[in-house]
Amino acid sequence: MRLLSTILISSLLSLFILELGVRYIAPQVKGPQLVWSKEFGFVAPKNSLLEHSLDGVFNYTYHINSQGFRGQEWTMNKNFIFVLGDSYSFGQGVTEGKQYSAIVRRNIFPNSEVINLSTPGWGITQQIKAYLLYSKKFRPKTIILQYASNDPLDNLHFPVIAIENKQFKPLILQPPFFIKWFPRVFRKILYKFQSYQYLRLKITAYLHSSKATKTSGENGPNAEQVNHLKLLKLFVKKLQDDQTKLIFLYHGPHLSNFQNLTSFLKNKKITKLDANSYFKGAGPFDSPDGHEWGEKGHAIIAQQLITLLRPGKEGN
């Protein structure tokens, strides 16, 4: 009994010291906290305000609508524009209303409605599934598909789309161990501890790196890139069959190690927008949380998209 008490007290003391050390020496970013979804892996909780902060550096609050996506409630319209992306298009590190999707909407509404289906951590596998799910009701005329260099690896974390007989097949996910065995209330309590955030990020980074293959350089694309391009090619065909315009939005340097994708994008039927090519003059264009698109960057992207969305306009 005495040994058990000693172990318990020692463990609690160690956790307390770790918490103090992390909190005051290496404070961790809080949020945005997502919830488990068997359809997508992780999503934003519906009708919520998500906190995203780092003590003394930044503090953001993101409004999540009744559909579980950032931004205003969707209104019925004759012309819908979907935004499909990850944390860049979600607007992580950007004040509410200053993300490019919101700026575009203010400039083209009520003639068109912008539906931002972007969520942090999503890859093209979730983006395709979101399109398949919501296009049945809204039938968008234009898709803004945003790419980031971590997308090929993100596709491996929670693959929710497979290709079968040259068609997309939606998949349903099984919850990971942590979600299955620990109640959400317990996870919310854990989330308040800086030491938990620190350990979670370290473990997540290790698991992600274990899934990645080394870029093969001159020998061709790696496994993640092959998978990503395969999904993208079929998605582009799907959009063409649906007579839906595609705008491929990206940050130039993110394509530097993906030559096969660069070659594919030379397809003249794909309208392309390299945000980085417009980031000129007085910066900074990045956000305090480390994303290359901050509020100034989003404003520039929005203006370019507004131009592209005018009839008869095409990208580079």
**Of residues 182 and 301, which shows the higher confidence score?**
301
How high is the mean pLDDT of the chain?
A: 87
Confidence of residue 215 (pLDDT cuts 50, 70, 90): very low
Neighbours of 202 (CB within 10 A): 10
Confidence of residue 189 (pLDDT cuts 50, 70, 90): low
State the average pLDDT over residues 1-25: 64
Contact 65/71 with Cβ under 8 angstroms? yes
Measured distance CA(296)–CA(284) in Å, rounded: 7
Does an H or E element contain 210, and which?
Answer: helix 194-211
**Of residues 308 and 5, which shows the higher confidence score?**
308
pLDDT digits (tens, 9 = 90+) for 62-92: 999 999 999 999 998 889 999 999 999 999 9
Domain residue ranges in the chain: 2-308
CATH fold group of domain 2-308:
Rossmann fold (3.40.50)
State the average pLDDT over residues 194-204: 65
CA distances from 260 to 219, 221, 226, 228, 247 (A): 12, 7, 9, 11, 18
pTM: 0.87
pLDDT digits (tens, 9 = 90+) for 239-297: 999 999 999 999 999 999 999 999 999 877 899 999 999 998 878 999 999 999 999 99
Contact 194/23 with Cβ under 8 angstroms? yes
Measured distance CA(171)–CA(156) in Å, rounded: 13
